């Protein structure tokens, strides 16, 4: 059935969701933005069916609404929802990088017709605005959902179904847990990246060749400092307690490192660097640590021609789509381990059953 979806905020993230929904569903899409040029661009490029600056009138006719404005504006939009008399059920979500303040604002929404489920697709870019939007932006990304407790399972499933075409991997988290983890792996690194750029800029005053010498390492670690300053200022502000806490921890750790340098403690410095390398290498090989493995199935396969194809074919015949495939470990002539990632638990379980009956050794990590 054709449903109406409102996307409020048609920038990088909202625009990408709108393009994706247009490509993967036949829902009626209403785009809301405060920027008239953005709305014109969306209409001209067929990204939305209707474009308006009037959030409230758009939302009353919708079955779904995704708020994709900057965090401060998202909170204001949630506040506006409190004055609306909803006449039919609606699922409202957002995409904000910080979840607790948005969830706090949404807690007092009229609950008879409104289900609010926080959201955060964990993919993006350093660009902003509709012209940077891409329908495939969230492919294979983690998409965090933070429903209130209790929340009807069918509502969460309905939101996942709407977003199915993004091909992202959903992860349900508590808002506080989300904010703590994203502080560590996203927000705080951004602060450090910006501070490293400032350091280089200051040194350039006395060392003119600094930009010429800025090589791969500096560029890698500071890439994110080129992102949208307005967005990050907003994120830092709404997560400032967590950020300040991490900064205190970091200053303590930097003091310890300074001490290792000042006392010439080469052994401890080696261990510090070695432990960092081990953890960092582990993040890439097993995708463990910072973000837990998700709907993965491990399959033992033999190193022989066609082994991978056989597994893929068996699942394709059952119309199960695989989100990601990784060969974790394979040595010549010996078995290797295949890590298959699925969009949900159902596909993960069905795949295990199919492969088990064909004699494969499979394992789901608890
Ligand atoms: N940029 C990124 O890499 C990621 C951003 N996010 C989150 O997504 C949200 C949006 O970020 P971006 O799309 O990157 O920003 P953006 O700057 O590209 O787009 C924001 C859009 O919201 C519109 N807007 C501002 N106030 C509005 C209002 N009151 N009503 C309706 N529209 C309004 C702006 O005109 C603009 O089109 C933020 O909350 C951010 O934390 C989440 C994941 C990744
Ligand atoms: O570009 C990158 O590396 C990012 O980290 C993008 C990003 C920015 C903000 C988010 O809340 C999630 C992802």
Query: For the segment 38-67, what is each residue's pLDDT rounded down to a tens digit?
Result: 999 999 999 999 999 999 999 999 999 999
Ligand 1: residue whose CA is nearest its atom 34: 9
Query: Which domains can be identified in the chain, with CATH numbers?
Result: 4-173 (3.40.50.720), 178-256 (1.10.3660.10), 296-363 (3.30.70.260)
> 3-state class of 91 per DSSP?
strand
Report whether residue 58 contacts ligand 2, using a CB cutoff of 6 Å: no
297-315: burial string, b at 16+ Cβ within 10 Å, e else:
bbbebeeeeebbeebeebb
Ligand closest to 96 (CA) is: 1
Number of H helices, E strands in the chain: 15, 12
**pLDDT tens for each residue of 195-210:** 999 999 999 999 999 9
Instruction: Measure the CA–CA gap between 84 and 82, rounded to whole angstroms.
Output: 6
Report whether residue 52 contacts ligand 2, using a CB cutoff of 6 Å: no
Strands of the 4-8 sheet, one edge to the other: 50-52, 28-32, 4-8, 64-67, 90-94, 114-121, 142-147, 169-172
Q: What is the mean pLDDT of residues 16-35?
A: 97
Asked if residues 2 and 28 have their Cβ atoms less than 8 Å apart, the reply is yes
Percent of the chain with pLDDT over 90: 77
Q: Which atom of ligand 1 is nearest to the CA of 132?
A: 18
Q: Please state at what angle helix 266-286 crosses helix 240-263, rounded to 10 degrees.
A: 140
Report whether residue 100 contacts ligand 2, using a CB cutoff of 6 Å: no
- Output the CA 231–ligand 1 centroid distance in Å: 7
| pLDDT of 130 over the 90 cut | yes
The torsion angles phi and psi of 312, rounded to 5 degrees, stand at -65, -40
Instruction: Measure the CA–CA gap between 33 and 275, rounded to whole angstroms.
Output: 47
Lowest-confidence pick of 161-175, 285-299, 333-347: 285-299
Other CB atoms within 10 A of residue 209 CB: 8
Q: Which atom of ligand 2 is nearest to the CA of 235?
A: 11
> 3-state class of 143 per DSSP?
strand
Instruction: Measure the CA–CA gap between 194 and 227, rounded to whole angstroms.
Output: 10
Report whether residue 4 contacts ligand 2, using a CB cutoff of 6 Å: no
**pLDDT tens for each residue of 317-363:** 999 999 888 876 554 455 678 889 988 889 999 999 999 999 998 98
Predicted model pTM: 0.80
**pLDDT tens for each residue of 20-29:** 999 999 999 9
pLDDT, position 331: 47
Q: Note the helical H segments in the chain.
A: 12-24, 36-44, 55-60, 71-81, 100-106, 153-162, 175-182, 188-204, 210-213, 216-222, 229-238, 240-263, 266-286, 307-317, 345-357
**pLDDT tens for each residue of 310-328:** 999 999 999 999 988 887 6
Ligand closest to 54 (CA) is: 1
Pocket residues: Cβ below 6 A from ligand 1: 8-14, 32-35, 38, 55, 68-71, 73-74, 77, 95-97, 120-121, 124-125, 128-129, 228, 231, 235
Instruction: Measure the CA–CA gap between 244 and 291, rounded to whole angstroms.
Output: 22
The residues near 121 (Cβ < 8 Å, ≥ 6 apart) are: 13, 17, 95, 137, 138, 141, 142, 143, 144, 166, 168
Query: Rounded to 10 degrees, what is the CA torsion of 329, 335, 337, 342?
Result: 140
Q: For the chain, percent helix, then strand, then coil, each to nearest 5?
A: 50, 15, 30
Structure tokens at 206: 């006395």
């Amino acid at each position: 059935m054709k449903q109406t979806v409102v996307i409020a905020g048609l920038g990088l993230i909202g625009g990408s969701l709108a393009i994706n929904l247009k490509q993967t569903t036949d829902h009626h899409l209403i785009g809301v933005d405060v920027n008239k040029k953005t709305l014109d661009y969306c209409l001209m490029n067929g990204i939305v069916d209707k474009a308006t600056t009037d959030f409230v009138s758009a939302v009353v006719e919708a079955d779904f609404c995704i708020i994709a404005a900057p965090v401060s504006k998202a909170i204001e939009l949630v506040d506006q929802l409190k004055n609306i008399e909803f006449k039919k059920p609606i699922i409202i979500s957002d995409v904000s990088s910080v979840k607790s303040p948005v969830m706090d604002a949404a807690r007092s929404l009229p609950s008879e017709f409104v289900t609010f489920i926080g959201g955060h697709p964990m993919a993006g870019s350093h660009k902003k605005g509709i012209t940077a939007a891409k329908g495939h932006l969230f492919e294979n990304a983690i998409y965090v959902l933070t429903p209130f407790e209790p929340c009807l399972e069918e509502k969460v499933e309905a939101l996942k179904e709407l977003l199915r075409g993004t091909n992202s991997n959903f992860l349900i988290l508590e808002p506080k847990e989300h904010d703590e983890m994203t502080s560590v792996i996203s927000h705080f690194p951004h602060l450090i990246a910006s501070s490293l750029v400032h350091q280089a800029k200051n040194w350039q005053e006395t060392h003119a060749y600094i930009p010429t010498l800025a090589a791969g390492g500096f560029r890698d670690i500071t890439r994110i400092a080129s992102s949208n300053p307005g967005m990050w200022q907003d994120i830092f502000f709404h997560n400032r307690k967590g950020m300040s806490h991490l900064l205190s921890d970091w200053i303590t750790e930097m003091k310890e490192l300074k001490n290792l340098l000042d006392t010439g403690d080469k052994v401890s410095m080696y261990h510090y660097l070695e432990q960092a390398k081990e953890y960092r290498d582990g993040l890439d090989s097993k995708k463990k640590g910072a973000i837990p493995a998700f709907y993965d199935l491990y399959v033992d396969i033999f190193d022989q021609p066609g082994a991978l194809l056989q597994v893929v074919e068996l699942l394709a015949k059952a119309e199960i789509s695989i989100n990601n495939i990784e060969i974790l470990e394979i040595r010549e002539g010996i078995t290797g381990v295949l890590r298959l990632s699925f969009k949900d638990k159902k596909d993960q379980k069905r795949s295990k059953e199919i492969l088990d009956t064909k004699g494969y050794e499979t394992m789901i990590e608890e």
